[in-house]
Amino acid sequence: MSHTINKIEQQFLEHMYTMNAYEQALGLMEWDARTKIPEKGTDDRAEAVGRLSTELFQLTTSDKTAYYVDTILAYKEDEVTPWIRKAAEELKKQYERSVRIPSEEYQEYSTLAAKSEAVWEQAKEADDFEMLRPYLEKLVEFSRRFAEYWGYDKHPYDALLEDYEPGMTTEMLDDVFNRLHKRLQPLVDEVAASSVKPDTSILFEPFPKQKQTAVSSNILRRMTYDFAAGRLDETAHPFALGLNPSDVRVTTNYDENDFRTALFGTIHEGGHALYEQNLPQEWKATVLSDGASMGIHESQSLFWENVVGRSKAFWEYHYDMLREEAGSAFDDVTLDEFYRAINTAGPSLIRIEADELTYTLHIMLRYEIEKQLINGDIEVKDLPRIWNEKMQEYLGITPPDDSKGVLQDVHWSFGAFGYFPSYALGYMYAAQFYDALRRDIPDFDTKLQEGNLEPIKQWMTNHVHQYGKSKTPVEIIKEATGESINPDYLLDYLETKYRKLYSL
């Protein structure tokens, strides 16, 4: 490597380190806003977030960024450190996308999104959609405008999808969701008609928050989550936040009358956190130190939450620990009864509490609404009515109020239109990984029964975590499983599990 390119690489790294310092500051402000901030501090915080976001945006779209990426990519491949070249390719994509948005619009958008998220929390608690509506209207307007800035071939929604699942289009989603729904709906109907019904009353025994925290912490440790590089906090809507691989935080939400909310929420966010904690240390503070896509990220959380956390083998090891913390709540409940209860299936109002079988129906519902919203076929004022109609169409139930309906998710309140499909894609990816992992670890169930989760985490690190953002979702899936996304793996997994559970 010549002295010149060596010097440019170091300058490029320093530039990314500066950008990452802003990202970490914004990430910490986001965590604080969702967990600790006083109510009166939200507006000033939103203004600060808007200003810092704009500074980062201007760094991303600066002449310096253009110079570094163009200079590095002009060298021959064997003249540049391979991973630094990958970082230049990724930052060039971000530059070309961001530079199309006027800086003053981005600041206005960032400030609005920060304020809107705080209002969402109040609106949800008050069951008052009208409180959030004016913020959502402006955010939708921004999203439609950004889609035009970025450009698209067939549908404006495609431009938004690119932020979360690079290369994905509405045409591809329509195809894979149609295939999924065609086989899934009959299975959902069969389960609903089955005379075999697990006793779910055992799930609603009082379970103090402090004891639930102990269970959640123990399971995170068993998953190999590193508490020296993270923490567990409480929030209204669970999330995981990776500031860097040495500081990855998990939050959860507690319901003392339904322990599943915190338990499976924590396992879900723990899956995200393992991804972030096991990104290559060499790449920290660069654009490669991130997940390949939100779909790949969700594959990790859904794999741990459902494939691992809802399996009988997992609870053969962990059930005694849960019973000990729960006091007398499960004294007369057998492991088999417990396993059947936590895997009960049926229509439910809340996405994050949905069972494995109906979960993707919640995502399809949101996807259909988002497409219409961005395309201008419906407006924000129509959302409560459309939401209730779609819930009836997909799940056969109607929310009693907007808090349990259109206001239940935080995503729209901070402008994340195009995000929801990644949940269903992640579930499909998770099932494909599961099939490949079982081929590589034939004693998978034995590992779970022994409480030995390290080999599972290591498989994910070898096939997913270690690549960060250096590979595309398509590359990761194909290299790990041998084929592109295929919904049949998820359908086979669900049919096998639920036909046995419900004696179909």
Per-residue pLDDT, averaged over 31-49, amounts to 91
Q: How many whole angstroms separate alpha carbon 141 and alpha carbon 386?
A: 19
Residue 492 has a pLDDT of: 97
Residue 5: what pLDDT? 76
Q: Distance (Å, rounded) from C-alpha 425 to C-alpha 405?
A: 23
| AA identity, residue 181 | H
Determine whether the annotation assigns residue 495 to a binding site: no
Q: How far apart are CA 13 and CA 22, in angstroms?
A: 15
The CA distance from 405 to 129, in Å, is 10
pLDDT band at residue 353 using 50, 70 and 90 as cut-offs = confident
The per-residue DSSP string of 380-437 comes to GGGHHHHHHHHHHHHHS---SSSTTTTTS-SGGGGT-TT-THHHHHHHHHHHHHHHHH
pLDDT over threshold 90, residue 279: yes
Can you tell me the distance from the alpha carbon of 162 to that of 150, in angstroms, rounded to the nearest whole number?
10
Determine the pLDDT at residue 220.
98
Q: 55 to each of 50, 106, 500, how far by Cα in Å?
A: 9, 10, 55
Average pLDDT of span 456-478: 97
Q: Whole-angstrom distance between the N-terminal and C-terminal Cα of the chain?
A: 64
Report the alpha-carbon distance of residue 101 to residue 99 in Å, rounded. 5
Calculate mean pLDDT across residues 371-380.
96
Tokens, residue 493: 């997994």
251 CB contacts (<8 Å, ≥6 apart)? 31, 34, 35, 232, 233, 234, 235, 238, 239, 240, 241, 269
What are all long-range contacts of 390-395, with beta carbons under 8 Å and residues at least 24 apart?
A: 390/365, 391/349, 391/365, 393/365, 394/361, 394/362, 394/364, 394/365, 395/347, 395/348, 395/358, 395/361, 395/362, 395/365
The C-alpha atoms of residue 426 and residue 422 are separated, in whole angstroms, by 6
Residue 128 reports pLDDT greater than 90 = yes
pLDDT at 409: 95
Could you tell me which residues come within 8 angstroms of residue 198 by beta carbon, excluding any fewer than 6 positions away?
A: 337, 340, 341, 343, 344, 501
| Rounded Cα gap, residues 279 and 464, in angstroms | 9
Q: Spell out a b/e string for 331-347, using b for 16 or more CB atoms within 10 Å of the CB, else e.
A: eebeeeebbbbbbbbbb
Note whether 495 and 187 are within 8 A (CB). yes
pLDDT of residue 352: 86
How crowded is residue 100: how many other Cβ atoms within 10 Å of its Cβ? 12
Q: Which of 370, 347, 343, 371 is nearest to 360 (CA)?
A: 347
For residues 260-274, give the mean pLDDT: 96
From 117, 269, 276, 356, the catalytic residue: 269
Q: Is the pLDDT of residue 347 over 60?
A: yes
- Taking residue 126's Cβ as centre, other Cβ atoms within 10 Å add up to 14
Q: What type of residue is 11?
A: Q
Q: So what's the pLDDT on residue 133?
A: 98
The per-residue pLDDT for 72 is 96
CA 472, chain centre distance (Å): 17
pLDDT at 2: 63
Q: Catalytic site residue 495?
A: no
Q: What is the pLDDT of residue 36?
A: 87
- Please determine, for residue 267, whether its predicted confidence score (pLDDT) is greater than 60: yes
Q: How far apart are CA 353 and CA 34, in angstroms?
A: 20
Determine which helix (DSSP H) or strand (DSSP E) holds 500, and give its type and residue range. Answer: helix 488-501
Average pLDDT of the segment spanning 159-175:
95
CATH topology of domain 170-501: Neurolysin; domain 3 (1.10.1370)
- Please list the alpha-helical segments (H only) found in 165-311: 170-193, 209-222, 260-277, 294-302
Beta strands in 229-361 (DSSP E): 230-234, 240-244, 247-252
Asked if 293 contacts 485 with a C-beta cutoff of 8 angstroms, the reply is no
Helix axes 103-126, 3-35, angle to 10 degrees: 30
393 is in an annotated binding site: no
3-state secondary structure of 244: strand
The closest alpha carbon to 419, from 503, 325, 351, 321, belongs to: 351
Q: How many residues are given for the chain?
A: 504
Cα separation values, 461 from 12, 300, 443, 484, Å: 27, 10, 18, 20
To the nearest whole number, what is the mean pLDDT of the chain? Answer: 95
| Angstrom distance (rounded) from CA 228 to CA 279 | 16
Q: Is residue 123 a contact partner of residue 136, using CB atoms and an 8 Å limit?
A: no
pLDDT in the model for residue 1: 54
Cα atoms in the 13 Å half-sphere on the side-chain side of 212: 23
Q: What is the predicted pLDDT for the residue at 237?
A: 82
State yes or no: 148 annotated in a binding site: no
Please state the domain extents for the chain: 3-133, 170-501
Residue 301 CA to residue 266 CA, distance in Å, equals 9
Work out the pLDDT band at 348, boundaries 50, 70, 90.
Answer: very high
Q: State pLDDT tens for residues 197-249.
A: 999 999 999 999 999 999 999 999 999 999 999 999 999 889 999 999 999 99
